[in-house]
Amino acid sequence: MRVNRAGEISAQALYMAQALLARSPATRRYLLEAAAEERDHLSWCTARIRELGGRNSWLDPLWFAGSTAVGLLAGAAGDRSSLGFVNETERQVEAHLDDHLERLPEQDRKSRAILQRMTQDEAHHGTMARLAGGRELPAAARKIMTIGGGFLRQFAYFL
């Protein structure tokens, strides 16, 4: 759950930063609504970590700062690219959550319920970004995002 929490810190920072540079009010509103849902996910993950006796990542400030910088870059590219970035982010998060759900013990029903709800919300964010005009990102950008997500997952797991 620590990795999921780190991801939610990152997602809300991304979307808030992207909203700062959104050109249209509709895009700004969408990004702020998505960021609010990511804060809900963050709250759920935080509570579950506490219930399980775990701890947050020591790198949480790094996840927030780095994601804010990336969100500003995505937002500066324009609304269509910014929304495409949301779509790709959510696609990768969905894949991570699906993998986590496969490895999660069946008896951990509470974590499973949280992750299933998060997966639904993330799929919705991606779909809405695509429908709002998000463009497909270049393969190189998607690859860089995959590497960045892998970095977060590995380091948040241990640190």
Instruction: Indicate which CATH number applies to the domain containing 18.
Output: 1.20.1260.10
Q: How many domains does the chain have?
A: 1
- For the chain, 159 residues long, the average pLDDT of each consecutive 10-residue run is 96 97 98 96 97 96 97 97 97 95 95 97 96 96 94 92
Domain that holds residue 129: 2-158
Contacts of 33 (CB under 8 A, 6+ apart): none
The tokens for 143 are 């690859």
